[in-house]
Structure 1
Amino acid sequence: MSSRKDTLWFICITLVLSWLVGGLWLLDERRVFLLRVLMCVPAVVAMGCAWGFRREPPRAMGLGFPGWGYWALGLLLPFGYVAVEVALAYAVRLVSGRPDFITFQPESVKGPFGLRGLGAVPAMLGFLTVGSLTWLLVAVAYSRGWAERVRARLPPGWSWVAHLFSLVLWVPSLWMGGLPGELAEEMGWRGYLVRRWMERPAMAAAITMPVWAAFHLPIIFSTTQRGHVLQNLSFLASIAVAAVVFAALYMASRSVWPCALFHLSWNVFNPMLLGDVYSGRPGLFGGEVWVFNGEGVFGLVLNGLLAVWFFRRWRHAPAARPVLGV
């Protein structure tokens, strides 16, 4: 099957299923576990399409260890975003003469183990770093071919033990964090969709932009988001241009792990530091949260500038080779 056809199948099935789950969540927004289920839809569909269309195993998505540099980049990149957006917000506050545009309020921050204030931020980073070791176990196992080594030592007809071993490797991460929504999204959007178009980086990024934004559509119909037109438009647009950055990170690292770590760290530290655009709750900084948030106007501007830079770079760059079996 051509890349165009299996791309279309993947997009249609993923969006329909995710919107159905999102609709169930909107009927009762207290069932927040449905949002984690929704985030897992891209991975499930991707694995089904990869095997059904091309007999590709999950490792083809890029499950190998990408190196410590990319691992650290995924965890720490959100702090770079926050630093730029906070600096820009204070510049706007200074120029506009509006002290309420952004305010520093560490008392609003809650972290693990009951910690509050600034101390909660490094504590949460440490907690995420330790938690990411469960993902590191899986990444190293794929890089070093542990399952293949097990299979090579088995007698004929016992290959199922190697498959069981591969599944067991995922148990610690499921036990630590429940449904791995951020990783599941990255396995679908980057590990499947972007990979299909790796030889054309700009096309790979461009395809994921509207699709990833469309995936988030149920959010704008939630109780806290409904009716805020400008806020919702900036939210969806920021998601769309952020897809370019995620695609670039995947194509550079040739692995889903930096993208998953970036996604997880972003989902934790963006609301923790810049407030929650979904609920309107402030974080370490309060004020016009929907403007200076990474998923608001400032996020749109920053990711938009990065997207322009990446597209210009890809236009003059040689084609990338696809990710296979790493």
Structure 2
Amino acid sequence: MPTRKETLWFIALALLLSWGVGAWWLLDERRFILIRLLMCIPAFVAMGCAWAFRREAPRAAGFAFTGWRPWLLAMAYPWIMILVCLGLAYLWRALSGRADFIYLRPLAEFKFGISKNLGFQGLPALGFAAAAWVVLLLPWLLVATAYRAQWPDRLKAALPSPWSWLHHAFRAALFVPTFLIHGVFPGELGEEMGWRGHLVRRWADRPLVAVAITMPVWASFHLPVIFSSAQKGHPVLNAVFLLSIAAAAVPFAALYLWGRSVWPCAVLHLSWNLWNPIVLGNVYTGHAGLFGGQVRIFNGEALFGLIFNAILALWLITMWRREASRTRASLPEG
């Protein structure tokens, strides 16, 4: 099947199914498990489409470790964004004279999902979150290392022919720690297997097309959020939120195209979802983070985050356009 038709099938199924789960979640927003399920739908649809149309295994998304640099950039990116947003927020506070625009909350209390009684105040929450972040990354590093070292392929080659199928069981077993630590629905990995490991990969030879598709699609995937109790009734803020997601799709795509592995994108997604709400507040719940004030302006998924990601997206798109122009110019005429 041509890539264009396959892409349309994937987008239609992924969005319709995710919107269905999103509508179910909106009936009772306390059912956070539905959000995790919703985040995994792109992976389920991607695996189904890849097998139905191309007989591709899930590992085609890129499970191997491809170097530390994409991983390190993925880890650093949310903090770079946070620092830029904080800088813009304090600059606006100084220019406007509004001390309530942004302020540090040193005694802010954070509850973590491991236990309802497990909470930390202020900066110690960062230490616990950092420890949890490392624990969450370790099972992904295990899988990436296993595929880099070709353990499943080596096992298949070492087994007698009647038992060679056991390499499939070994591949599945490599993900057991992920399900044990992240839960039955590892949402960040699920999204990245779909949006980047499938959709961007299909158009990897045409980055401008890849981002032109994933920008509106990834934003559309988040539509149920704007109907939640924390966001509904604020159309301007809703539009900024969706635009920030669309802009962020560009650096996510660039990271996948650079690393050719789904893991750096998953690391970036996880790091973003952890650090942005802890430091800058949570636009999904409306709760402040270590910094309070106009969270819906200076958050990484609000106006200042949109500015940061849009500038980076514009730079990346300009680079890709120049590369495309050079490629066309180098082709022989006729």
Which bracket does the TM-score occupy, shorter chain normalised?
Answer: over 0.9
TM-superposition CA deviations, 1:70-106 (whole Å, max 9, x none): 2222222211100010000000001111111101112
Instruction: State the 1:141 CA deviation.
Output: 1.1
Quick one: which of 219, 225, 231 aligns to 2:225? 219
**Number of the residue aligned with 2:288:** 282
Alignment RMSD: 1.4
Could you tell me which of 125, 128, 148 is aligned with 1:123?
Answer: 128
Match of 1:292 in 2: 298
Aligned to 1:314: 320
Q: Is the 8 A contact 2:240 2:303 kept in 1?
A: yes
The gaps in structure 1 that reach 5 residues or longer are 320-326
Does the 8 A contact of 2:109 with 2:119 survive in 1? no
Match among 180, 188, 196 for residue 186 of structure 2: 180
Task: Tell me the equivalent position of 1:209.
Answer: 215
Whole-Å separation in 2 of the counterparts to 1:309 and 1:267: 24
Match of 1:196 in 2: 202
Cα deviation digits, residues 17-75 of structure 1 (max 9, x gap): 10111111111212110000000000011011111111111121111112222222222
**Would the aligned equivalents of 2:22 and 2:224 in 1 still touch at CA under 8 Å?**
yes
Contact 2:281 2:295 in 1 (8 A): yes
* Alignment correspondent of 1:39: 39
Task: Give distance in 2, aligned partners of 1:268 and 1:181.
Answer: 13
| Residue 56 (str. 1) matches residue 52 (str. 2) | no
1:213-260 per-position Cα deviation (integer Å, ceiling 9, x unaligned): 000001111112111111111100100110001001111111111110
TM-score (normalised: structure 1):
0.95
1:262 equivalent in structure 2? 268
| Cα distance in 2 between the residues matched to 1:47 and 1:126 | 32
Q: How many angstroms does 1:127 deviate by?
A: 2.1
| CA–CA separation in structure 2 for the residues paired with 1:116 and 1:253 | 37
Structure 2 spans left out of the alignment, 5+ residues: 113-117, 326-334
Separation in structure 1 between the aligned mates of residue 148 and residue 56 of structure 2, nearest angstrom: 17
Normalising by structure 2, report the TM-score: 0.93
- Residue 322 of structure 1 aligns with which residue? none
What is aligned with 1:25?
25
- Letter in structure 1 aligned against 2:314: V
The residue identity in structure 2 corresponding to 1:313 is: M
How many residue pairs align between the two structures? 319
Question: 1:77 — aligned with what?
Answer: 77
Give the CA deviation at 1:261. Answer: 0.6
Q: Distance in 2 between matches of 1:228 and 1:235?
A: 10
Give the counterpart letter for 2:306 in structure 1.
L
| Bigger shift: residues 222-231 or 206-215 | 222-231
Deviations 1:147-198 (A, max 9, x none): 1111112222323311011111100111011021001100000000001111
Residues 105-124 of structure 1 mapped to structure 2, 5 A cutoff: 105-110=105-110, 114-124=119-129
Give the letter aligned to residue 215 of structure 1: F
Q: Secondary structure at the match of 2:103?
A: strand
How far, CA to CA, are the matches of 1:225 and 1:52 in structure 2? Answer: 38
2:145 to 137, 140, 145: 140
Kindly indicate whether the alpha-carbon contact (under 8 Å) linking 1:43 and 1:187 is maintained by their aligned counterparts in 2.
Answer: yes
